[in-house]
Chains A and B, each alone.
Chain A
Amino acid sequence: MSVTEKSVAILNASAPLSNANAKDSLDVALIFGSYEQTISLYFQADGVYQLIAEQQPELIQQKDFLKTFAALEFYDIENIYVCHHSLNQRGLAEKFSIENVQVLNQDDFAISLYQHQTILRF
């Protein structure tokens, strides 16, 4: 495989509003997307909260960067995976703010993630 075909995965494991990880991660994803790199997003542990619909960050003085997730499809970022086990642990329904999210069991999530040549974690 040539280096130009390297695929990138970003593993998101932080809650959306307690620190800047989610926002910093999304910025990286959009840049890789705009450079037409193959990129997939993975959400695990508290990271699954990032995709939950109807959040109101402005109530705690935060800018609503979560609505930027809706722009992912315009950057051709279409591989978005969520860990089913993490949702279950937190009692969260599969009610996401964007479409085309694939919920995977732990094994499939791990197997899919390790297909990538580069993994960044936030």
Chain B
Amino acid sequence: MITEVFFIISIVLVNVGHLVKNIAFVITTPPNSNLTATAINIVTSALAMNMSVVGVFFYQDGVLNGSQHVALPNDEYQAHQQWQLLHHKYNIPLHLCATAAEKRGLSDDINDKQTTNVHEAFILSGLGELVELNVKADRLVQL
């Protein structure tokens, strides 16, 4: 499986035609989707290839990865925890699109900022952050 992911990353590299040092990701799938597990494998592989992951931008249903209240069955892949781990281990910024998050009940100013339901590894950002990541990264990959 890891070999396959390396293959995908290699394709990304060949397309660019020069070495990718900085990479950013757009995630649009929720934690209960297997597509998110694939996305995490690709991010992990990029790190293993010594790329710098300048940020991950969560859009559409992807923002659900940042909820404090995700509870997947114990015997299933814990995608949301893997993101938290990546953030704590590699200090990767995890940006949730604020508008997409609010549409899905995620906010950091419930009762005038007394409470939040966004996990502390994630930060609510505007879509402008996606523009910034695209400028910062040699390659922006949407998953």
Contacts and interface: CB of A to CB of B under 8 A. Distances in A.
Interface stretch (A26-34, A50-58, A68-76, A81-89): A26-34
Given A24-B60, A118-B140, A120-B142, A31 B100 contact: no
B58 interface: no
Interface in A1-38: 3-4, 6, 8, 20-21, 24, 27-28, 31-32, 35, 37
Contacts of B131: 31-32, 35, 37
A27 B99 CA distance: 10
Given A3-B136, A6-B135, A24 B100 contact: yes
A31 B26 contact: no
B108 interface: no
Contacts of A119: 142
Contacts of A32: 131, 134
Interface size class of A (residues with CB under 8 A): 10 to 19
A119 B143 CA distance: 11
A121 interface: yes
Contacts of B26: 120
Nearest to A27: B127
Contacts of B137: 3
A121 B142 CA distance: 8
B121 to A, nearest CB: 23
B130 interface: yes
A3 to B, nearest CB: 6
Contacts of A4: 135
B32 to A, nearest CB: 17
